[in-house]
Structure 1
Amino acid sequence: MRAAPWHRPTAARHGSATPWHRPVRLSPSDLLRLGLIGIRTRRMRAALSALGISIGIATMIVVTGIPASSQRALNAELTALGTDRLQAIADANAAEQGEPASFPPESVAMVARVGPVQAVTAVANTHTVVRRSDRIGELDLSGLTVLAARPNLLDVINAKVRSGRYLTAATDRFPTAVLGSVAAARLGYRDLRPGEPPPLVLIGDRWFSVIGILRTTPLTPDIDRSVLVGWEAAHSQLGFDRRPTQLFIQAHEAAIEDVDAVLPATISPQSPSMVLVSRPSDALAAKRSAEATFSGLFVGLAGLALLVGGIGVANTMVISVLERRREIGLRRALGANRGQIRGQFLTESIALSGLGGLTGIIVGVLATVGYATYKNWPPVIPLNAVTGGLCGAVLIGVIAGVYPAVRASRLSPTAALATT
């Protein structure tokens, strides 16, 4: 028997489904408020769970930030020691019979034309004796070397003046001298006092005024044991022939091996075998080894920290589903579908991990900056660690919340409500 027209659903007569037959879609804001219910009502458990993920993310920031800060300080120290520098020395054993072990006068200009070379300078052994007084016999030697030097020497070898000043273009032609740290100690000079007449040293049979004393130069210990005079002054006063015996080269670090390979033929095209070029310093190898070691350490510790944090969030969400079965059953009985239940618990897991991630980033950044400042390192916070930490926290929330969300959505209303 056909039902009366008034028994039919009103919407059926109009050819459309009733509004209460349509699945209700939650807006993102409603879904977020729903997902935060568990966090607000169980604050202590949420805080402990967020603490776990915070520790994981903070650990990732710290284990990347602190080694990065240390590495930057190490790089600066190694660079100061000369990882981008080479030395070329004239080999006396390879020099021809009777010929001095020296380079052509134009060798400095030739090396400067090499593309990756940033700076080049030269020194030359004048083969003269230095004494503090003419009352000291010529055979009573101090073991010091008198070197003709150019004004840009300190910039290339990264040396500093301890007292007084260095040679300049203005003093290059005058009988002035600068002492290395060891040379100053052996000659009995500690520091130069401003306003007082400069002390004198006897080089050969000429008196030179001491205008500066250098600090110790770890890169070039030979400079510490030398007395430096101007290039032109050495020529006019000491009979120097303007032929360098040692070159100092600063080049781009990435091309240091290539520069090393072409230096002998560039410095002395006729006798490249007499050119001894120092290999890139051991500090360069240590620097590259440290970079590789630090990179592997970053990946391992960060992955372990994220794994621990993810396990903590997953454990919290599973327990949350078990404790809230009656709530799930009531919501299902009131019309919530499985997708909404999944969305609720998945949102809660993501929010929990996100809050923990933000807290961990703040703690990690503060810890890194504090420790780097304590160690006098330049603080370095890798941007990829910060963004990766936040994205990793969200990803952990998704992964850790999938199983509990699916499990919650599969609970039948009757079974869930029957739970005591």
Structure 2
Amino acid sequence: MPDANRVLRPVRLAARDLIRVGAGGLRSRPTRVALSALGIAIGIAAMISVVGISSSSREDFHRQIAALGTNLLTVRPGQNLFGDQAHLPTEAVAMIGAIGDVKSVSATGLVPEARIYRNDHIPAAESGSIAVLATRLDLPDTVGANIVAGTYLNEATQHYPAVVLGSTAAAHLGIDSTGPDQQIYLSGRWFTVVGILAHVALAPELDRAALVGWPVAADLLGFDTYPTTAYTRANPDHVEAVQTLLARTANPAAPNEVDVSRPSDALAAQHAADSTLGALLLGLGSVALLVGGIGVANTMVISVLERRGEVGLRRALGATRGDIRNQFLAEALLLSTLGGITGLILGTGVTTCYATTQAWPTVVPSWAMLLGLGATLVIGAVAGLYPATRASRLQPTEALTAP
């Protein structure tokens, strides 16, 4: 026999039932829900588009800045205490490459006594001031050099009388093609022209140079194997740190005899641009999210006013204040989720289309998408809290008798 003194407690809705009830409330007003979700979607799409387009523009800017060599540092021998020309150790390139934030390193070595001529009939005094440099095979990748004719030196040709000419050197010698018949006279020997470089913006000294392999320079031209310029590509985020290490790494015994180039002013411009764009993205994103939150709050307040009869009926049938509050909160969250996902899709599409028309790389940061969706849910919950609380406080008699 049931206990007459037992107090019956109302059963709370499970999470699944709460979602179903909230979705039912949204389905009952599809037009208003669609317009409200569209308002939220536009706000999120605006934020994603602003972040995405700005990030894409910034990535293109970074690429242009990188092309200017902001992370390219050069190491050259300076002078010793007596004012004489110093030299870098032969192991300098390997030691620089061991620095953690160095992405790549290469080197050239001046062959001071070598002279280059178009043929063996040119007077010795008319060498054209073309420098002869011994070079490593990884030089083009490090300095961003491109070949306009022929090929660069390789593992085979670096051991033989083969030469690659800089753009200015090739023009001075009257050479515009490569092949077995294209030969120049270099220090009493014939060298075959295997390649011609385009203008090297990051290392213009290579334009007026003839590049030969490191081994053949030592074997045939009397090269002492000391590097005279080490080109170093550093991690863009740690250029200054690498710069401070280069001198004592390249020549630990005498770091004061090493000259290291300073990072380009473009690097400072890049950091300034990043800070400015970051503040801009934060401000515009906040405004867009605020607009979306206002849309959610407006929709839910109107929904409460229109559904007072439904609220009164549910309260009369035993729904607790918590059930009513949670129902309207669930509707607000579902509405925010619907608008947020739609906004992410729209924002990504707009960013992709605009970046494609500008020939930019398309960049939509994952953090922006996660932050946008997460912030939408938080703002939706906050915006729906007041209407939900207001609905839960309606008395059944008051709600059922409301006009």
**TM-score normalised to the size of structure 2?**
0.85
Match of 2:202 among 208, 219, 233: 219
One of 27, 32, 51 as aligned partner of 1:45: 32
Does the 8 Å CA contact 2:149/2:196 hold for their aligned counterparts?
yes
For 1:38 and 1:116, the matched residues in 2 are separated by 57
1:167 corresponds to 2:153: yes
SS in 1 for 2:190: strand
**Residue from 336, 344, 350 that aligns with 2:327:** 344
Query: Per-residue deviation at 1:312?
Result: 1.0
Alignment match, 1:87:
74
The runs of 5 or more residues in structure 1 that have no matched partner are: 1-9
Output the CA distance in 2 between the equivalents of 1:216 and 1:403: 67
- 1:357 offset after TM fit, Å? 1.1
Q: Are the aligned partners of 1:95 and 1:101 in contact in 2 as well (CA < 8 Å)? A: no
User: Which segment drifts farther, 118-127 or 222-231?
Assistant: 118-127
Once residues 392 and 278 of structure 1 are traced to their aligned partners in structure 2, the CA distance between those partners, rounded to angstroms, is 46
2:48 corresponds to which residue? 61
User: 1:243 and 1:56 mapped to 2: Cα distance?
Assistant: 62
Distance 2:50 2:32 in 1: 27
Deviation string, structure 1 residues 66-119 (Cα, Å, up to 9, x no partner):
333444444455445544432112347x6856x556434454455455565554
Check the 8 A contact 1:110/1:266 in 2, yes or no: yes
Equivalents in 2 of 1:204, 1:224: separation in Å? 20
The aligned residue for residue 5 of structure 1 is none
**Corresponding residue of 2:132:** 146
Q: 1:360 to 1:118 in 2, by over 3 A?
A: closer
The DSSP-based 3-state class of the residue aligned with 2:195 is strand
The whole-number CA distance in structure 1 between the counterparts of 2:401 and 2:250 is 93
Residues 151 and 330 (structure 1 numbering): CA distance in 2 closer, same or farther, change over 3 Å?
A: closer
Identity among equivalent positions (%) equals 48
Q: Which residue of structure 1 lines up, in the alignment, with residue 388 of structure 2?
A: 405
Q: Which has the larger radius of gyration?
A: 1
- Whichever residue aligns with residue 15 of structure 1, its letter is A
Aligned to 1:371: 354
Using the alignment, how far apart are the partners of 2:241 and 2:9 within structure 1? 73
Corresponding residue of 2:297: 314
Aligned length: 402
Change in Cα spacing, 1:105 to 1:359, as seen in structure 2 (3 Å) is closer
Structure 1 partner of 2:163: 177
Displacement after TM superposition at 1:279 (Å): 1.7
Answer whether contact 2:180 2:193 (CA < 8 A) is retained: no
Which of 93, 103, 107 does residue 88 from structure 2 map onto? 103
Gaps of at least 5 residues in structure 2 are none
Distance 1:344 1:173 in 2: 80
Question: What residue number does 2:189 align with?
Answer: 206
Aligned residue for 2:394, secondary structure, equals coil
The aligned counterpart of 2:15 is 28
Q: 1:68 to 1:105 in 2, by over 3 A?
A: same
Counterpart of 1:211, as a letter, is V
Out of 121, 127, 135, which is 2:106 matched to? 121
- The SS at the match of 2:352 is helix
Counterpart amino acid of residue 21 in structure 2:
L
Q: Show the counterpart of 1:6.
A: none
Letter in 1 for 2:14: S
The amino acid of 1:123's aligned partner reads: T
| Cα displacement string for residues 43-72 of structure 1 (whole angstroms, at most 9, x for unaligned residues) | 222111111111122223223333334444
What corresponds to 1:305 in structure 2? Answer: 288
The alpha-carbon deviation at position 405 of structure 1 amounts to 1.5
The equivalent residue for 2:308 is 325
What residue in structure 1 maps to residue 376 of structure 2?
A: 393
For 1:7-18, list aligned pairs within 5 A. 14-17=3-6
> What SS does the aligned partner of 2:201 have?
coil
What amino acid maps onto 1:34 in structure 2? V
Between the aligned partners of 2:151 and 2:337, the Cα distance in structure 1 is 59
List per-residue Cα deviations over 1:305-331 (Å, max 9, x = no partner): 111100111111112222233333343
- Checking the alignment, whether the CA contact within 8 Å between 1:101 and 1:245 is kept in structure 2 is no
Tell me the SS of whatever aligns to 1:172.
Answer: helix
Query: How far apart are 1:244 and its partner, in Å?
Result: 2.8
Judging changes above 3 Å, is the alpha-carbon distance between structure 1 residues 103 and 387 closer, same or farther for their aligned structure 2 residues? closer
Name 2:142's counterpart in structure 1.
Answer: 156
Is 1:190 matched with 2:173?
no
Q: CA RMSD in A?
A: 3.2
* Distance (whole Å) between structure 2 residues aligned to residue 140 and residue 80 of structure 1: 35
Q: Could you say if the C-alpha distance between residues 31 and 221 of structure 1 is closer, same or farther in structure 2, counting changes exceeding 3 Å? A: same
1:233-272 superposed matches below 5 A: 233-253=216-236, 255-268=238-251, 272=255
- 1:167-194 C-alpha deviation (Å, 9 max, x unpaired): 23422342221012232233333343xx
Q: Distance in 1 between matches of 2:373 and 2:104?
A: 45
* Rounded Cα–Cα distance in structure 2 between residues aligned with 1:407 and 1:197: 90
How far apart in 1 are the matches of 2:234 and 2:399? 74
Distance of 2:396 and 2:91 partners within structure 1: 94
